[in-house]
Amino acid sequence: MVKCYYCNREAVYSRPYEKKPLCLAHFNKSFINRVKRTISKFKMLQPHDKVAIGLSGGKDSVVLLHVLSKLMRNFPRSKLIAVTIDEGIRGYREESLEIAIRHAEELGVEHNIFSFEEFFGQGLDDLLVTLENKQGDRKGACAYCGILRRRALNEAALRVGANKLATAHNLDDEAQTVLMNMLRGDLGRFGRNDYEPVFKHEKFVPRIKPFMLTPEPEIVLYAVFNGLQYQEMPCPHAVEADRGVIRDMLQMYLERNPGALFNLVRMGAELSELLKQQERKERPLKECKICGNPTAGEICKVCAVLYEAGELDFKTKIDT
């Protein structure tokens, strides 16, 4: 029997990048402490914050809901509100909605459900059909869903009166994003990625990522060890995403260099700090001529997608 590094109890997990076996109690303690350190390091939360958490029903968001609910009990003036976005993916989102509702009720957390159809006129499945019929071809589903989902979460956070929006992006997600931006040669994105929530605009709710230094496998283990049910079925559109290729590349490299994800995310944070002031000075954010949301160009990506789908008429909108 392998014993815990910190006590005589049986170990349940050994981190490949630390080589320290941990019992269940010390695994849970170290998991929570890592989230606390991340929040503190990047100044993510204040005692009076009203935080909207994006709750999809997947492993990351379910665990984040439980962890933030636990941590925010120490701040009676703060409030946690769960927001779930129904993208309109038939045969997939129904299960996750049930799971999200159950966890929010169990924890006594206010829960609000919004939909793509409510915000954009069509659910994702219908939008993809519309785009294909109009153009004869389309990008991968994730290219549209990512743009619209980010806006939907922001709008949901605004509607519930939150001043912070917590998303469950984990270390693996962040490292993949850093590598994708590097391979695309998109240096500007590093300058616009504030790890500390400092960007301010009346239509933008600052985002925080308490799991950005937490590896994905440890989130899965926390859910399993603590009996937290989550949706295991992957999104049916995930096969179209470029991110899967990057994930496979990193997984192969991690077999030889277990700490590589931390190095990538650390580099991304340092680049962000070096570039953000210059980026804002040279390319200050504008307001979309259609919806008024902050954007780097004249028209935001959400309005561009809705225009492609026939939901917007740019000339009419601008004239009015």
Domain range summary for the chain, segments of one domain joined by +: 28-283, 285-320
- Predicted pLDDT at 107: 97
Which residue is associated with the tokens 């929530």? 197
Which residue is associated with the tokens 């492609």? 308
CATH class of 28-283: alpha beta
Confidence of residue 274 (pLDDT cuts 50, 70, 90): confident
Query: What percent of the chain clears pLDDT 70, i.e. is strictly above it?
Result: 90
Residue 142, pLDDT above cutoff 90:
no
- Predicted pLDDT at 316: 54
Q: What is the mean pLDDT of residues 69-94?
A: 93
- Predicted pLDDT at 309: 87
Lowest mean pLDDT among 110-114, 229-233, 263-267, 296-300: 296-300
Pick from 53, 40, 36: nearest CA to 162:
53
Exposure string of 149-179, with b = 16+ CB inside 10 Å and e = fewer, is: bbbbbbbbbbebebebbbbbbbbbbbbbbbb
Cα–Cα dist 224/214, whole Å:
16
Confidence of residue 192 (pLDDT cuts 50, 70, 90): low
Beta pairing partners, 287: 294
Confidence of residue 281 (pLDDT cuts 50, 70, 90): low
- Predicted pLDDT at 30: 97
Q: What is the mean pLDDT of residues 255-266?
A: 92
- Predicted pLDDT at 183: 85
Cα–Cα dist 45/36, whole Å:
10
Cα–Cα dist 216/268, whole Å:
18
Mean pLDDT of the chain: 89
Helix, strand, coil abundance in the chain, percent, nearest 5: 50, 10, 40
- Predicted pLDDT at 284: 64
- Predicted pLDDT at 3: 96
Please answer whether residues 179 and 246 qualify as being in contact, where contact means their C-beta atoms are separated by less than 8 angstroms.
yes
Residue 221, pLDDT above cutoff 70:
yes
Cα–Cα dist 256/251, whole Å:
9
Residue 29, pLDDT above cutoff 90:
yes
Lowest mean pLDDT among 92-96, 168-172, 196-200: 196-200
- Predicted pLDDT at 312: 78
Cα–Cα dist 127/145, whole Å:
10
Residue 176, pLDDT above cutoff 70:
yes
Please answer whether residues 56 and 96 qualify as being in contact, where contact means their C-beta atoms are separated by less than 8 angstroms.
yes
Residues near 55 by beta carbon (within 8 Å), at least 6 away in sequence = 61, 62, 65, 82, 83, 84, 100, 103, 104, 111
- Predicted pLDDT at 320: 44
pTM exceeding the 0.85 threshold for the entire prediction: yes
* Cα-based distances in Å from 45 to 80, 154, 198, 298: 12, 17, 12, 32
**Token digits of residue 160:** 């519930």
Residue 158, pLDDT above cutoff 90:
yes
